[in-house]
Structure 1
Amino acid sequence: MRFVELLKDMTSKKKIVTADNWDSLKKFTDARISLGRCGTSLPLKESLAFKLAHAQAKDAVHKSFQRETLIRKIESQGYSCISLKSQVENRNEYLTRPDLGRQLDTASLEKVIQNAPKKCDISFIICDGLSVRAIHENGLIFFTEFMNTLKETPLTLAPVCLVTYGRVAIADEIGAVLNATLSIVLIGERPGLSAPNSMGIYLTYAPKVGNTDEVRNCISNIRPGGMTHQAAVQKLSYLLEKAYMLRKTGVQLKDSMPSFYLPFSELIELQ
Structure 2
Amino acid sequence: MIASIVEEVLREIGMGSGADGRLGRQAGDREQSGRFAAREDGMPPAARPDNDLHDITSQEEKAKPTLEHPMDPEALTRMMGKTTARIGVGKAGPRERTRTWLTLRADHALARDSVFSDVDEGLIDRLKLVSVQSMCRDRNEHITRPDLGRKLDQEAQQKLVSACKAGVDVQLIASDGLSSKAIEANLENILPVIEDGLSMRGISTGPAIFVKFGRVAVEDAVSELLHPKVVCILIGERPGLGTAESMSAYICYQAVVGQPEARRTVVSNIYSGGTSAVEAGAYVAELIETILKEKASGVDLKH
Scaled by the length of structure 2, the TM-score of the pair is 0.74
Equivalent residue number for residue 72 of structure 1: 125
Residues 61 and 5 (structure 1), Cα distance of their counterparts in 2 relative to 1, 3 Å cut:
farther
1:17 touches 1:37 (CA, 8 Å); kept in 2?
no
Residues 253 and 6 (structure 1), Cα distance of their counterparts in 2 relative to 1, 3 Å cut:
farther
Q: How much has 1:35 moved relative to structure 2? A: 2.5
**Kindly, what percent of the aligned residue pairs are identical?**
31
1:1-271 equivalences in 2 (<5 Å): 2=9, 17=68, 23-24=76-77, 25-66=79-120, 68-75=121-128, 81-254=129-302
Q: How much has 1:248 moved relative to structure 2? A: 0.3
Task: Return the alpha-carbon distance in structure 2 between the equivalents of residues 113 and 250 of structure 1.
Answer: 27
Residues 95 and 18 (structure 1), Cα distance of their counterparts in 2 relative to 1, 3 Å cut:
farther
Q: How much has 1:227 moved relative to structure 2? A: 0.7
Scaled by the length of structure 1, the TM-score of the pair is 0.82
Residues 48 and 5 (structure 1), Cα distance of their counterparts in 2 relative to 1, 3 Å cut:
farther
Q: How much has 1:82 moved relative to structure 2? A: 1.9
1:18 touches 1:38 (CA, 8 Å); kept in 2?
no
1:199 touches 1:221 (CA, 8 Å); kept in 2?
yes
Unmatched 5+ stretches in structure 2? 1-7, 15-65
Deviations 1:96-148 (A, max 9, x none): 10000000122101112233534210111010110001001111111122222
Task: Return the alpha-carbon distance in structure 2 between the equivalents of residues 23 and 65 of structure 1.
Answer: 38
Which structure has the larger Rg over C-alpha atoms?
Answer: 2
Which is further off, 244-253 or 142-151?
A: 142-151
Residues 65 and 91 (structure 1), Cα distance of their counterparts in 2 relative to 1, 3 Å cut:
same
Deviations 1:142-174 (A, max 9, x none): 112222222212111122111100000001111
Q: How much has 1:252 moved relative to structure 2? A: 1.9
Task: Return the alpha-carbon distance in structure 2 between the equivalents of residues 52 and 131 of structure 1.
Answer: 16
Look up the equivalent residue of 1:170 and give its one-letter code: V
1:61 touches 1:191 (CA, 8 Å); kept in 2?
yes
Task: Return the alpha-carbon distance in structure 1 between the equivalents of residues 209 and 84 of structure 2.
Answer: 33
Q: How much has 1:6 moved relative to structure 2? A: 7.5
Residues 159 and 230 (structure 1), Cα distance of their counterparts in 2 relative to 1, 3 Å cut:
closer
Deviations 1:212-255 (A, max 9, x none): 21000111111111111232123212321110011000012249
Deviations 1:184-229 (A, max 9, x none): 1010000010111111111000022112210001111111111112
Q: How much has 1:5 moved relative to structure 2? A: 5.5
Unmatched 5+ stretches in structure 1? 8-14, 76-80, 256-271
Q: What is the alpha-carbon root mean square deviation over aligned residues? A: 2.4
1:128 touches 1:164 (CA, 8 Å); kept in 2?
yes
Task: Return the alpha-carbon distance in structure 2 between the equivalents of residues 135 and 119 of structure 1.
Answer: 26
1:19 touches 1:35 (CA, 8 Å); kept in 2?
no
Task: Return the alpha-carbon distance in structure 1 between the equivalents of residues 301 and 220 of structure 2.
Answer: 18
SS where residue 184 of structure 1 aligns? Answer: strand
Task: Return the alpha-carbon distance in structure 2 between the equivalents of residues 249 and 157 of structure 1.
Answer: 18
Give the aligned length: 242
Q: How much has 1:27 moved relative to structure 2? A: 1.6
2:67 touches 2:88 (CA, 8 Å); kept in 1?
no
Look up the equivalent residue of 2:289 and give its one-letter code: E
